[in-house]
Structure 1
Amino acid sequence: MKTVLLFGVPLVFAAFAGLLLAGLAEREESGDALPSALVGQDAPEMNLTPLGDLPALDRAALEGPGPKLVNFWASWCVPCRAEHPLLEGLSEEAPLYGIAYKDKQADSLAFLAELGNPFDAASTDDTGRTGIEWGLYGVPETFVLDGDGTIVLRHAGPLTPEIVERDILPALEAAGG
């Protein structure tokens, strides 16, 4: 009986996790990604706390010529760590703004000190209210905005090189990049 519990429970869990991940990957590839009611709408107002000495992010920063990227992330988010090198590359394509979601200032700053800061401005969403206004499902999430501050694309989940090539870069181009 102990052998069944010792090996059976982890095997069942691994099988379930594999099915879940396969379903999410299939959903992503089929275009059934999580919907966003904000695509085509102006980016919501934001009430954010500046992140350390970094330039603070506000709604006015999202308006002006050219496309912009907004990335919700957190130091405690493992997929955020995995996508970070891609954000560094994207910061060369368009202004990139970071919102540390429900994270401690010290932890967010340590994350950026360790991995590098790709953000033109960064703030923290201490209460999670801004995340709610943006329709956040969780972190990471990345939004592409046009020069008017209109959301043209939302990607829920970590970025991969394939997602950047297939979705993010074309959206930046369509937004005036």
Structure 2
Amino acid sequence: ILLFSFLDKEEDQLRSVLVDKNFPDFSLPKLESQKIATGQDFTELPSILNVWATWCITCRVEHPFLMRLKEESVVKIYGLNYKDQREKALKLLDQIGNPYEFSIFDQKGKLALDLGVYGAPETFLIDEKGVIRVRHVGVLTEDIWEKKFKVVLDE
């Protein structure tokens, strides 16, 4: 019980460091093409950035929920493919579906480092001004979506 209590407090501290800060400026290739993605892609509309990888087993647990969010057009979803291999990532998305507008190919983890990412999955809510409003470490579920993300979107 003590360990879980500590983990909850640690996640709260992780969120507080990034919340209300501007999304880091970056320039990295998109997974699906050699076109470049930048921080400007995260302005104008609220969006989420989901950190994922083919080697991340728990990322597959949240994948059906991400697909549902995409189908319901609740928010724009972008991916951050973290320390992965392009061919494997593209093959996986082809097999299980692609919920992302596009994925940023962060093979060396540079943007992830700037975001303070510990691993995958992690999910960020970015408002229309490019400000990080929510950070969640771990699997994104419907319950977490409702309690952490939707309440901010509904403000």
Mean CA deviation greater in 157-166 or 55-64: 55-64
Match for residue 138 of structure 1 among 108, 119, 125: 119
Larger Rg belongs to: 1
- How high is the sequence identity, in percent, across the aligned residues? 32
Q: Distance in 2 between matches of 1:25 and 1:112?
A: 35
Amino acid at match of 1:144: L
Match for residue 52 of structure 2 among 73, 77, 81: 73
Give 5+ residue unaligned stretches, structure 1. 1-18
Q: Distance in 2 between matches of 1:49 and 1:147?
A: 22
**1:150 Cα offset (Å):** 0.3
**1:162 Cα offset (Å):** 1.4
**1:93 Cα offset (Å):** 0.6
TM-score, reference length from structure 1: 0.77
Q: Which residue of 2 aligns with 1:86?
A: 65
Contact in 1 for aligned 2:59/2:139 (Cα 8 Å): yes
Report the CA distance shift for 1:131/1:71 in structure 2 as closer, same or farther (over 3 A). same
Amino acid at match of 1:86: F
**1:89 Cα offset (Å):** 2.1
Contact in 2 for aligned 1:34/1:156 (Cα 8 Å): no
Aligned Cα root-mean-square deviation (Å): 2.3
Q: Which residue of 1 aligns with 2:131?
A: 150
Amino acid at match of 1:46: F
Q: Distance in 1 between matches of 2:149 and 2:109?
A: 25
Q: Which residue of 1 aligns with 2:109?
A: 128
Q: Which residue of 1 aligns with 2:92?
A: 111
Contact in 2 for aligned 1:69/1:144 (Cα 8 Å): yes
Amino acid at match of 1:81: R
Deviation per CA, 1:50-81: give whole Å up to 9, x if none: 213397532111011x3111111001100101
Contact in 2 for aligned 1:55/1:121 (Cα 8 Å): no
Deviation per CA, 1:75-104: give whole Å up to 9, x if none: 110010100111112232111110100000
